[in-house]
Structure formats: C-alpha cells, structure tokens
Amino acid sequence: MTHDLLYERLADRMRRQIQRGVLRAGERLPSLRRLGRDQRISLATAVEAYQQLEREGLIEARPRSGYYVRAAPTAPSRGSRARHLSRTPMPVRNPALLGVLDVQSRRDLVPLHTATPASSLLPTAALAASVARAMRRDPETALSYTVPQGLPQLRERIAERYAQCGAEIDPDEVIITAGAMEAISLTLRTVTRPGDIVILETPTYHGLLQAVAAHGLRVLELPNHPGRGIDPAQLRELLERHAVRAALLVPSFNNPLGSLTGDEAKREIVAACAAHGTVVIEDDLYGELAYSGERPPPLRRYDDGEHVVTCSSYSKTLAPGLRVGWMLGGRRRSELLRTKSFSTVATATLPQMALIDFFARHDIERGLRRLRRALAGNAQAYRQAVLDHWPEGSCVSEPAGGMTLWVELPPEIDGQALFEAALAKGVGILPGHLFSNRGDYTHHVRLGCGHVWDKTTESALRTVGEVAKRLQG
Ligand SMILES: Cc1ncc(COP(=O)(O)O)c(C=O)c1O
C-alpha cells in the first residue's frame, strides 16, 4: 500500500512538472537508478512511476537510451487492452471525456456515435398522442409539481415488469428519476463519499466515468469480457484487496461490448459484494434489449433490497427525450428519496402522465419484440460491413443485446485519428479511449447500431473503412 502511494505521489509530481514545462518535451529523465537514489525509493517504485507516466502518454522509453518526455504529451498511448485487474484505485484521469459532449450534440453527422434507436424504431407517434392527451385531460396536474417519488401508477407498472423477470419489487421502493443517469448519480451521491473506491467495468460507458469523476471517487477496473461479461472471480479478487464502497456494473449488455453476464455469475456477484459490504449499483438500461428475446434477470433478482440498487429508464426502449427513468431503492429508499428531492424536487410530471396513458393503450411487449429484432438485424449488418470494408485485421464484437459494436483496429491505426478523420467525412463514431478511466483502448472505436440499416449507413461504414485503410498507410 505504502509502495503504491509512493509511486503515485512521484508520478503526480513529475506529471505536474511536465504539464508546467519544468520538464520539457524531448528532455531526458533521470535513469531509474538515479531516480531511486535521489528520491530514496526502491527501483520497483521508480519503475512503477515511469510506467504510469508512460501509460498516460507523457513519457516514453527509448531502447538502450532511457526515458524521455514525449513531444506531444496529450495523446493517450496506453496499450490497446486493459488485460489485468487494476492494482491501484485511480481517480478518473481521462481528459478526453470532457470533449465527448461536443460530438454527441452534433446533428450534422451520420449518427454512428450515438447509442440511440432511430425514432422510426420507437413508438414516436403513439407517445406524441399520449403527451397531447395527458396535457388536454388534466393540464393543471400536468403542469404542477408532483411527489418526489413519482406517480404511483407508473411505479406500479415498473414493479410489475420486474416481477415478470423474477424480481419481486414493492412499488413503494421505486423512485422515478430523469433517466438512468440521474438515478446512478443520485445513488453515487447517497452511498459514497469523495475519495471512496468504486469498481467499474473496463471498457465501460463514458457517462459512468464522468459521473464517478464528478463525485471525486477512485476507480478500480474490472475487465468485462466480450463473450461472457463479468468474471465473479476477478471481482472477488478486487474486493479482497481493497475496501470497495460500490460497484457500478452493467451486467446485461455492457456498453460498448454488448456482452451479457450469465445468471450464475450474477448470483455470485451479488453474494461477493454482500459479503464485503459493497453496494452494487446496477445499470440495467439495456436489460430489455436481448437479441435472443429473453429478458435476462437483473442483479436485484438475487438480492432482497439490501445490497443492490438497480437503475434504468425508458431511454432506449421508448424515448430518450422523455427523460423518465427509475431506481429500485430497496432499504435505501428513504435516503435516496431525500437526495432526489433536495437535488431536483421531482421528475417532470407531464412525461410520467403520458407514459401512464401510453401503457394503458399499447402492448409494449409487441413494440419491444420489433425493436429487439431490428437491433439484432442492424448489429449483424453493421458487423458484416466492418468485416467487408475495414482494414484486414479489424476485429468486431458480437453483441448479445443493446445497440453498440466495439471494433479493435489493427495496431497501426489510432482510434482517435480514425474518429477525427471520420468526423471530417461527416460520420460520427467514438474513439475507444473514452471507455476507460485512463485512456486505454487507443486502437478501438465504438459504433452505435441503433440507426436503421440503409444506404446512408452502409455508405458511412464503407467511408470509415476507406479512411481507416488510408490511415494504415
Ligand atoms: C450504459 C448506459 N447507462 C446510462 C446511459 C444514460 O441513460 P439515460 O438516458 O436513461 O439517462 C447510457 C446512454 O447511452 C448508457 O449507455
């Protein structure tokens, strides 16, 4: 532990010196031995400090010459994969995360950078009619504050849906929020304090990294495996080594991988966290979007409300702009409700009323079946286009659900460079380093596959493939 702190402190000091220009680009750094002697630290600590700065792209090792400050220290240059469990909890240190909003708000791109279903795959007209009806029927209520917890009929519907997949939920513990993101942030705010250690998957959704950064938490990375999701043995290893306050996990269709953690592994994850007093914050946003059609159980199915807070929303199944989500508070219900009411008073009333109207008139299961089929078809078509048109050696994930594909590029192609070149051609994709807290996955990109498969999408994927081949040179 002391050793970890020492190397971090040394790396911090040197990072600041590089950023302030005290150590200049191209400058040779002291040898490991000299550094060890000067700083009165072991050789192993000196090596760890240099390796940390190397991973951040700030310094480089030149064969038989030593370590040098890199000429362009801003580009993250970590290896392509996070192969190992992280040994030291680290604050989120990926400056690129701040830029992601600029790209996400662009409307002039072929939107392969978003993980949103095309509006033609969602019941847009029916929802518009429900919004109009709710407003017409009771404008006074629709425009008033509602209770912080949300409308009872909507909470009952959410609880019923969970009961169908084996999780017995009391409607009274459901709290309506502005999307899953608010539910997650409120839970983090309620159960953690700045400096606490949380476990996040790697790779994981950049929004979760931003939420964790905003709360000043330190992150341990837990690999999510393309074919099988989270490995409970790896989770246990982290829990045994560190005092982990919370684990923020996406076991049903990780974004970007689309992987699914199996039922038995889910049971083990809950048991391990319970044994260590670690709160599980489950992001169940994509749970309804299994390509097999079978809704996987949420982690909450294996818990009695003591250890798991499940968060989700209608953003990916009905309409992201309604901003209606929820959390299943379990025994933390009152605390979470207090945080919710102090932070946003209540979730907007009209969208909740519109959803109640919508559910009374429409069979959501039929719509979901259609959506799942369309997304599965899209994933297959997008995948094939990457295999056909992108440089040889590109590997693309085979998602089991959700709406994202993860592409590992040949090592000569940088994900950020491809992202920038694609933008210049009017195509949005996201660089892989956004999906890790320290800028891993420099040779990956993420594609959203919620946009309908048509000539525009096909041509966009072909264009990105051509650009990638050019970058490969
Ligand atoms: C894994 C994950 N969690 C949360 C969100 C945000 O969800 P919401 O729109 O419900 O806030 C996203 C959006 O893409 C996501 O991919």
User: Which residues are 230's β-sheet partners?
Assistant: 224
Burial annotation 221-246 (CB, 10 A radius, 16+ → b, else e):
bbbbebeebbbbebbbebbeebebbb
pLDDT value at residue 55: 74
The CB of 115 under 6 Å from ligand 1? The reply is yes
Report whether residue 399 contacts ligand 1, using a CB cutoff of 6 Å: no
* pLDDT for residue 78 is more than 70: no
Bigger pLDDT: 86 vs 316:
316
pLDDT for 19 beyond 80? no
Which ligand 1 atom minimizes the distance to the CA of 313?
A: 10
Greater confidence (59 vs 350) lies with: 350
Residue 117 burial (10 A CB sphere; 0-12, 13-18, 19+): buried
204 CA closest ligand 1 atom index: 1
pLDDT tens, residue by residue, 281-317 = 999 999 999 999 999 999 999 999 999 999 999 999 9
Per-range mean pLDDT, top range of 39-48, 71-80, 398-407? 398-407
Task: Pinpoint the residues of the chain covered by CATH 1.10.10.10.
Answer: 2-74
Contacts of 381 (CB under 8 A, 6+ apart): 453, 457, 458
pLDDT at res. 72:
56
Tokens of 63: 């064969």
**326 ligand 1 Cβ < 6 A:** no
Q: Which residue has the least CA distance to atom 7 on ligand 1?
A: 180
Ligand 1 center to 233 CA (angstroms)? 27
pLDDT given at position 52: 80
CATH superfamily for 96-119+366-472 is Aspartate Aminotransferase, domain 1 (3.90.1150.10)
**Beta strand spans in 16-133 (E):** 59-62, 66-69, 90-91, 110-111
The atom number, within ligand 1, closest to the CA of 325 reads 10
Nearest-atom index, ligand 1, CA of 181: 11
Which fold, 124-364?
Aspartate Aminotransferase; domain 2 (3.40.640)
Instruction: State the average pLDDT over residues 190-206.
Output: 97
Least confident of 96-100, 124-128, 273-277, 379-383: 96-100
Ligand 1 centroid, distance to 284 Cα (angstroms): 9
312 lines ligand 1 (CB under 6 A): no
Quote the percentage of the chain above a pLDDT of 70: 96
Confidence at residue 61, expressed as pLDDT on a 0 to 100 scale? 84
Dist. CA 40 → ligand 1 center (Å): 47
Query: In which band, very low, low, confident or very high, does the pLDDT at 23 lie, cut at 50, 70 and 90?
Result: confident
315 CB within 6 A, ligand 1: yes
Report whether 311 contacts 184 (CB < 8 A).
yes
Ligand 1 in contact with 258 (CB < 6 A)? no
Q: Are 150 and 314 in contact (CB under 8 A)?
A: no
Q: Is the CB of 255 under 6 A from ligand 1?
A: yes
Q: Is the pLDDT of residue 275 over 80?
A: yes
Return the CATH number of 2-74, one of 3.40.30.10, 1.10.10.10, 3.40.50.720, 2.60.40.10. 1.10.10.10
Give distance in angstroms: CA of 180 to centre of ligand 1: 6
Which of 188, 285, 317, 344 maximizes ligand 1 atoms within 8 Å of its Cβ, making it the mutation to test the pocket? 285
Averaged pLDDT for residues 175-187: 98
Average pLDDT, the chain: 92
Q: Which residue has the higher pLDDT, 84 or 246?
A: 246
Decide if pLDDT at 2 tops 60.
no
Atom of ligand 1 at shortest range from CA of 205:
1
Q: Which residue has the higher pLDDT, 94 or 266?
A: 266
285 lines ligand 1 (CB under 6 A): yes
Across residues 10-15, what is the average pLDDT?
85
Please tell me if the CB atom of residue 318 comes closer than 6 angstroms to any atom of ligand 1.
no
Centre of ligand 1 from the C-alpha of residue 56, in Å: 27
For residue 84, the model assigns a pLDDT of: 56
Q: Is 226 close to ligand 1, i.e. is its CB under 6 Å away?
A: no
> What is the CA(212)–ligand 1 centre distance, in A?
14
Q: Tell me the helix, strand and coil percentages in the chain, rounded to 5.
A: 50, 15, 35
pLDDT reported for residue 1: 35
Task: Tell me the C-alpha distance between 313 and 346, whole Å.
Answer: 16
Among 49-53, 126-130, 223-227, 255-259, whose mean pLDDT is lowest?
49-53
In this predicted structure, which of 58-67, 163-172, 209-218, 460-469 has the lowest mean pLDDT? 58-67
205 CA → ligand 1 middle, Å:
8
Q: Which pLDDT band, with edges at 50, 70 and 90, does 5 fall under?
A: low
Confidence of residue 80 (pLDDT cuts 50, 70, 90): very low
In ligand 1, the atom with minimum distance to the C-alpha of 286 is 1
Which atom number of ligand 1 is nearest to the Cα of residue 182?
Answer: 11
Task: Compute the distance between CA of residue 14 and CA of residue 122 in angstroms, rounded to an integer.
Answer: 51
Confidence of residue 36 (pLDDT cuts 50, 70, 90): confident
Rounded percentage of the chain residues whose pLDDT exceeds 90: 77
Decide: 130 and 361 in contact? Cβ < 8 Å. Answer: yes
User: Residues 155-175: pLDDT tens digits?
Assistant: 999 999 999 999 999 999 999
CA 250 to ligand 1: nearest atom: 1
Give the confidence band of 77 by pLDDT, cuts at 50, 70, 90. very low
Is the model's pLDDT at 81 over the cut of 80?
A: no
Question: What DSSP designation does 44 have?
Answer: H
Q: Given the CA of residue 320, which atom of ligand 1 is nearest to it?
A: 9
Residue 180 CB–ligand 1 contact under 6 Å: yes
Averaged over 32-41, what is the pLDDT? 86
Q: Specify the long-range contacts of residues 190-197, CB closer than 8 Å, at least 24 apart.
A: 190/332, 190/335, 190/336, 190/339, 191/245, 191/246, 191/279, 191/281, 191/309, 191/332, 192/217, 192/245, 192/246, 193/245, 196/245, 196/246, 197/89, 197/242, 197/243, 197/244, 197/245
